Amino acid sequence: MTTTEMTTTAPLRPPLFQGGLPFIGALPWMRRDALGLLLAAKEQGDVVQINFGVRKITLLASPTAVERALVTNVKNYVKQTRGYAVMRKLLGNGLVTSEGNFWLRQRRIAAPAFHREKIAGFAVTMQRCTDDMLARWGQTHLQGGAFDVDKEMMSLTMRIAGLTLLSTDVDENTSDVGAALTELVERQVFQRVTLPFELPMSVPTPMNRRFTKARHTLDDIILGIIRTRRAGASRPDLLSMLMDATDEETGESMSDRQLRDEVMTLFLAGHETTASSLGFTLWLLSEHPEIEAQVRQEIQQVCGEQGDVDVGSVMRMPYLDAVFSEAMRVLPPVPLLARRCNDGDVVDGFAIPPQSLVFLSPYVTHRLARWWKNPARFDPTRFLEGGEAHQEGRPKYAYFPFAGGPRKCIGDVFARLEQKVCMARMLQRVRFTSLPEPKVEPMLAVSIRARHGIPMTVARSQTASPA
């Protein structure tokens, strides 16, 4: 507690969100439309308690509250929540799920693999995978007809993750890794988090059986790759970087089991989030033709009609960069983070009870009218030099798509490179048109997803042909 807090009067209980049902509170609303519920709650306060029947959860929406939980009092806000328990079953003790000294050691070992100069080498793979996808579209989607852009972006980023992480081609449709990952990540994780209760894994329900089978498939494949790699030559991928890395302080490196957990973690954390941002950004651009025209012009100026899209060229695309920053403001790929407040706290003058759960939501905080003019508007100029996002005196945590503090996303540089390389390459070669039906409806899954997909048609750019 800070000195100022100690001298003020007793902290207040946060206001209770008015809008749920008797007894079960806002639980059905959360299942039906979590994003809508969070926005409605924010209208009743920046720190507000939501009743979910068996428990109350406090939404911390103000930038100061977010900073308190992620940075200044971070040790008091732990990942002992239902969602993380489910993820631990899948990911083991990787960077996303572990805590305390174990996490710190893993983070120190992994950090060098994510430095900007190490990641830069992956741009070639990102472009090649995008080219392969466009070439495939030449036989399918470019012949006309609607398709789901969200699904395509999932396959694209999954393949990029497979190649950059393991030097393994992971095609969702043709590889066992892809199919098992899709089963676990897309079909099971969120479903399990939102179940009212979960039967132990030892009970052979169809869902548990599918989970165990998919997990064994992944374990066998990933551990197999790790063992072969130990016996053979190093490859230019993240796995080799993680295998070679040692803790600066202790000199230790990772065991096979830890490597397996980290590889699974990076697959999960890395591919779905980036795919979500690519899909929604394509949709936002197609809904804002004047912004799309400006992006195309920038890409054209930097790369021409056929030039490669590499690290150097995307660094010369400030407008494209601002487009992604703004798209992640409006539709942050990770719209909700949950934490347990261990010892209780005082946040913005409100008391947070010990052992209670809190929500931090980029989706909500990025819409606070106090910090964002006309927050519903998609306007990339906010993030250009001199735009409102860079104005002096603004609180840092009015914007946190990659979280912040010690648990900030380790893959942010990777993600931003992947977003720009893939998008610039696509827009260099094709044009997308969104369709009125089914309506694009963002919803909370593990990442933000479109409930009925993102239907679009695609055509060749007038000036260029796909790879």
Please state, as a whole number, how many other Cβ atoms lie within 10 Å of the Cβ of residue 230.
10
Is residue 185 within the footprint of ligand HEM (CB under 6 A)?
no
> Binding mask 81-110 vs ligand HEM (x if CB under 6 A, - otherwise)?
--------------xx----------x---
Nearer to ligand HEM, 107 or 340 (CB): 107
Q: b vs e for 327-365, b when ≥16 Cβ sit within 10 Å of the residue's Cβ?
A: bbbbbbbbbbbbbbbeeebbbbebbbeeebbbbbbbbbb
Nearer to ligand HEM, 51 or 155 (CB): 155
Is residue 269 within the footprint of ligand HEM (CB under 6 A)?
yes
Residue from the set 401, 453, 455, 466 that interacts with ligand HEM by CB under 6 A: 401
Q: Name the β-bridge partners of 60.
A: 47, 360
Nearer to ligand HEM, 107 or 128 (CB): 107
Q: Look at the block and give the residue holding tokens 């021409």.
A: 304
Interface size with ligand HEM, residues (CB under 6 A): 22
- Scanning 129-137, 213-221, 251-259, 265-273 for contacts with ligand HEM by CB under 6 A, the matching segment is 265-273
Nearer to ligand HEM, 211 or 400 (CB): 400
Nearer to ligand HEM, 350 or 399 (CB): 399
Contacts 24+ apart (CB under 8 A), 398-402: 398/63, 398/365, 398/366, 398/368, 398/371, 398/372, 399/325, 399/329, 399/362, 399/365, 399/366, 400/66, 400/70, 400/360, 400/362, 400/365, 401/328, 401/329, 401/332, 401/333, 401/334, 401/362, 401/366
Is residue 265 within the footprint of ligand HEM (CB under 6 A)?
yes
Is residue 325 within the footprint of ligand HEM (CB under 6 A)?
no
> What residues between 404 and 423 interact with ligand HEM by CB under 6 A?
407, 409-411, 414-415
- Scanning 191-199, 239-247, 330-338, 426-434 for contacts with ligand HEM by CB under 6 A, the matching segment is 330-338
Nearer to ligand HEM, 188 or 265 (CB): 265
Residue from the set 62, 81, 273, 361 that interacts with ligand HEM by CB under 6 A: 273
Minimum distance of ligand HEM from residue 239's CB (angstroms): 12
Is residue 334 within the footprint of ligand HEM (CB under 6 A)?
yes
Minimum distance of ligand HEM from residue 384's CB (angstroms): 20
| Residues of this chain that bind ligand HEM (CB under 6 A) | 95-96, 107, 265-266, 269-270, 273-274, 277, 333-334, 337, 401-403, 407, 409-411, 414-415
